[in-house]
């Protein structure tokens, strides 16, 4: 493995195979460090269930992968690409309104109600 890949695996957690309906170019990882930092920054009192960094979704190692969770995080992937200076604006929203009322979180929670597999059902094995 390349040194950078090994470092990313250490810091973000190992990559895992994404569900079939996951958009191409999005990486799924399972870890704890980034979710612990996310939970601390969001004052959650526990690790975040998942944290999205551009096109990488890090799901906490102890949290079950669910279509709703991934739909939430895929909305953050969309925000990263659609909103200029997204990390800065996300941080400002959190500082002003807190985690729950952060408008990017409100949008992501709304996306949970339309999970991706609703339009592309997973195939039977």
- Give the Cβ contact number of residue 23 at 10 Å: 11
Nearer to Zn ion, 13 or 39 (CB): 39
70 binds Zn ion (CB under 5 A): no
Tokens 């999970």 identify what position?
A: 115
Residues 6/33, Cβ–Cβ less than 8 Å: no
108 binds Zn ion (CB under 5 A): yes
50 binds Zn ion (CB under 5 A): no
Residues 71/112, Cβ–Cβ less than 8 Å: yes
Stretch that binds Zn ion, among 7-15, 17-25, 62-70, 107-115 (CB under 5 A): 107-115
Closest residue to Zn ion, based on beta-carbon distance: 108
Nearer to Zn ion, 30 or 72 (CB): 72
Strands 50-53 and 56-60: antiparallel
DSSP secondary structure string for all residues of 63-101? S---HHHHHHHHHHHHHHHHSTTHHHHHHHHHHHHHHHH
Nearer to Zn ion, 28 or 108 (CB): 108
Stretch that binds Zn ion, among 2-10, 11-19, 30-38, 105-113 (CB under 5 A): 105-113
Nearer to Zn ion, 30 or 94 (CB): 94
Binding site for Zn ion (CB under 5 A): 105, 108
């Amino acid at each position: 493995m390349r040194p950078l890949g090994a470092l990313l695996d250490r810091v973000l957690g190992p990559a895992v195979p994404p569900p079939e309906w996951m958009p191409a170019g999005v990486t799924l990882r399972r870890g704890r460090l980034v979710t612990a930092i996310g939970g601390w920054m969001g004052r959650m009192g526990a690790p975040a269930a998942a944290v999205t960094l551009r096109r990488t979704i890090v799901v906490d190692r102890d949290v079950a992968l669910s279509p709703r969770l991934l739909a939430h995080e895929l909305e953050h992937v969309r925000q990263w690409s659609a909103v200029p200076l997204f990390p800065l604006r996300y941080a400002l929203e959190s500082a002003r309104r807190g985690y729950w009322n952060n408008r990017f979180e409100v949008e992501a929670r709304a996306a949970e109600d339309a999970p991706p597999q609703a339009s592309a059902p997973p195939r039977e094995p």
